Structure 1
């Protein structure tokens, strides 16, 4: 009798266990999808809106393409909504409280990225499974790489801060049919991978209710995540700014070279061509826009003008140094500015033309002159020769002094230009890059 009781108890237990655990997830799926229509909104009351929440995880900033003004980012998107037609009682279905369904088999909000740019148009959304809970709550998470348009502000390049919006919303459901709800006050950055070119400053969120011109009186919900990033400027400072500052400094130092070296113009033009080439290289890192001039481009243009002006003034000072024709005394105002002192008496008293009788004529008339007049004539001719030699010596001495004064003037102008251009270079560099370094 006891054996029969135990046997009956075991049989009842097995039957009960079989009834509880015999239901599989497949059977739950079949039960839910039988007669399910994924095209209609999943609400029992058609006047109610489907409340959908969106949570965006920023994983990685892949690249910011300046020429196309496109930001490429890796995201994880998590959507939540309630489907009234995907609910069941776990107690009646083997205590199964959640299942996985292919997203293509059920209704979804089909949120799109409004400012997305893709070469093939709207790319396909990853076909990942959605988690469906017994109360009808649906959780759908998937990774995606987005090419988003981003209007760049390059005024402070390479110390610029960019703000790129990511706008998500429904393309077909207005706010009365689909209500967007934010999970948090900002985007999720917990899984973010650092970028070598950009520093992530913030990932803000703004929920908007917009009325478009196509549909007057109808509001549309969208969630706009704004990625704020700051450029890491060390690369550009090291490889672009530093060489340009050094070359501009070398152009200024050209005024320190002695004019007789013959290398001043070659140095100026070489540096000018190098700065122009560097400017062309920098433009490849910038978008094609004419709305603003980047900081670094303004600096390069200024240094090119500085080097060009240096070359032009070098030509001017060389023309003063090697002035060899039509030598005139240095003007008084220049002598006063550059402290050349008073004029030398030899320069002030220029030799005049010889008013004595022509010596060649005396040589011609010697044979015709009487003997008593020959001796005074020879004395006069010798005096004229000595006077002529004296005048030639004074003229050469005056020419040498004039040439020396012009060379001294050119040297002093060089030193003044060296100081002036150095001050301009320091002010230029500090004024442009000082507030950002």
Structure 2
């Protein structure tokens, strides 16, 4: 339906331009044979503006209604993430009838149209109600108004419209924002001034023919204009607004290289340090490096995203959680190193039930069957099936048991980290795709 409506707008615009072309051609031909073309235009304006009141409505009686056909054709759209204000540069199309500005072409050398300055005639006071810059109420440019002999007027001014557009940054940097502009007469109700969409339908597509798709940070996915009639208990007359709804998608391919790939690299770096031996000192260095990089990256993302939004991007939640896990992995790596290095010379064994658990089926799950088989044999020292005796205390040392406990703890942490990382990716990253 939106495509058909957009085609209807393009067809109507093309017909108007064709009519203007043939009218200009006809007038140009008449001007070559008859009186001066510019002099005729000035004579028409002098005549019809003589007793013209530009503050009065176009209809002659008090019960008449002036219908204004209205449409937009955006040129460019900018979004300020800090202030959450959308700025739209656009062409505005307005078409209405003012019978006071009509004349007979036969009386003026066949002249069928003239141009008026906007401040010379009455214009519709269609205003942006939710204007973000309340002191700037004059939205439209000073382009001339084209008046036809039968009183119809066609005005295509440029305009800058600023509207507050609260952002939902949940799916940043691939978020979509919906901004709504409420347009209507500032001083007239619907029985006096009746705004209509360009093709007369209650809801139609906005013409995006002139939008510069390749030069802006945002891509327009959809744009519609809808006529809404409201009535209030206090008053019998209707109040008409034109609601323009614009759906924007953030469009920046560079985000893949400056946001997604570095973040995934840091997350994988945090995971890779589990590949190192559990009693390696380089393991602590690698985990600390991953923690620092993840901290810097979270700060970097925080500076890129506005803090005015009521929602937090899921990608920041993901890397914030990754940062916490990186810190925990460093702390637990210290515990593993303490168990592996400090307690392996201990003459106190681990809890027997824990040792039994680690040497049972859990050893196969943790891929530690070789180490579990060496418990009680001092890592398979040939000719000695007993524990190594401590020289000072003459008691056996339980080095193999503590090494197995440290390796099992490291392996459990690795499994938990991978599981949490995969679940987080499914919960946080997958919706971005």
**TM-score, scaled relative to structure 1:** 0.78
> Which of 192, 207, 212 pairs up with 2:227?
207
Give the secondary structure class of the aligned counterpart of 1:85: helix
> Which has the higher mean CA deviation after the structures are superposed, 229-238 or 187-196?
229-238
Partner of 2:108: 93
Partner of 1:47: 63
The superposition leaves residues 137-185 of structure 1 with CA deviations (integer Å, 9 ceiling, x where unpaired) of 1111111222221121222222221111122111111111100111131
1:267 aligns with 2:282: no
1:152 aligns with 2:167: yes
1:434 aligns with 2:433: no
Distance 2:38 2:271 in 1: 90
Q: Map 1:295-310 to 2 at 5 A.
A: 295-310=314-329
Structure number with larger C-alpha Rg: 1
Partner of 2:376: 344
Distance 1:19 1:434 in 2: 73
Distance 1:244 1:298 in 2: 12
**What 5-or-longer segments of structure 2 have no aligned partner?**
1-32, 360-371, 379-383
Give the secondary structure class of the aligned counterpart of 1:277: helix
Q: Map 1:210-249 to 2 at 5 A.
A: 210-211=230-231, 216-232=235-251, 234-249=253-268
- How far off is 1:345 after superposition? 7.9
- The question of whether the paired residues in 1 share the 8 Å contact of 2:96 and 2:152 is answered with yes
> Which of 292, 295, 298 pairs up with 1:276?
295
**What 5-or-longer segments of structure 1 have no aligned partner?**
1-16, 352-389
Distance 1:298 1:432 in 2: 8
Partner of 1:24: 40
1:254 aligns with 2:273: yes
Sort the Cα spacing of 1:241 and 1:21 in 2 relative to 1 into closer, same or farther, 3 A. Answer: closer
Distance 1:284 1:410 in 2: 40
- The question of whether the paired residues in 2 share the 8 Å contact of 1:155 and 1:292 is answered with yes
Sort the Cα spacing of 1:245 and 1:336 in 2 relative to 1 into closer, same or farther, 3 A. Answer: farther
- The question of whether the paired residues in 1 share the 8 Å contact of 2:279 and 2:336 is answered with no
- The question of whether the paired residues in 2 share the 8 Å contact of 1:206 and 1:225 is answered with yes
> Which has the higher mean CA deviation after the structures are superposed, 202-211 or 19-28?
19-28
- The question of whether the paired residues in 2 share the 8 Å contact of 1:20 and 1:94 is answered with no
Partner of 2:351: 331
Distance 1:91 1:276 in 2: 80
Give the secondary structure class of the aligned counterpart of 1:112: strand
The superposition leaves residues 26-63 of structure 1 with CA deviations (integer Å, 9 ceiling, x where unpaired) of 111111111111001011122111111101102222x2
- The question of whether the paired residues in 2 share the 8 Å contact of 1:56 and 1:187 is answered with yes
Distance 1:406 1:80 in 2: 87
Give the secondary structure class of the aligned counterpart of 2:68: strand
Give the secondary structure class of the aligned counterpart of 1:322: helix
Q: Map 1:125-164 to 2 at 5 A.
A: 125-164=140-179
1:413 aligns with 2:409: yes
Sort the Cα spacing of 1:146 and 1:345 in 2 relative to 1 into closer, same or farther, 3 A. Answer: closer
- How far off is 1:79 after superposition? 0.7
Distance 1:124 1:177 in 2: 22
Distance 2:93 2:181 in 1: 15
Distance 1:350 1:272 in 2: 39
> Which of 79, 86, 111 pairs up with 2:94?
79
- How far off is 1:260 after superposition? 5.0
Partner of 2:26: none
- The question of whether the paired residues in 1 share the 8 Å contact of 2:128 and 2:182 is answered with yes
Sort the Cα spacing of 1:33 and 1:403 in 2 relative to 1 into closer, same or farther, 3 A. Answer: same
Sort the Cα spacing of 1:237 and 1:53 in 2 relative to 1 into closer, same or farther, 3 A. Answer: same
The superposition leaves residues 58-105 of structure 1 with CA deviations (integer Å, 9 ceiling, x where unpaired) of 2222x2112211112211001111112100011111100000000100
After superposition, the CA RMSD in angstroms is: 3.0
Give the secondary structure class of the aligned counterpart of 1:80: strand
Give the secondary structure class of the aligned counterpart of 1:252: helix
The superposition leaves residues 340-361 of structure 1 with CA deviations (integer Å, 9 ceiling, x where unpaired) of 358638999999xxxxxxxxxx
- How far off is 1:425 after superposition? 1.5
- How far off is 1:284 after superposition? 3.3
- The question of whether the paired residues in 2 share the 8 Å contact of 1:73 and 1:147 is answered with yes
- The question of whether the paired residues in 1 share the 8 Å contact of 2:71 and 2:94 is answered with yes
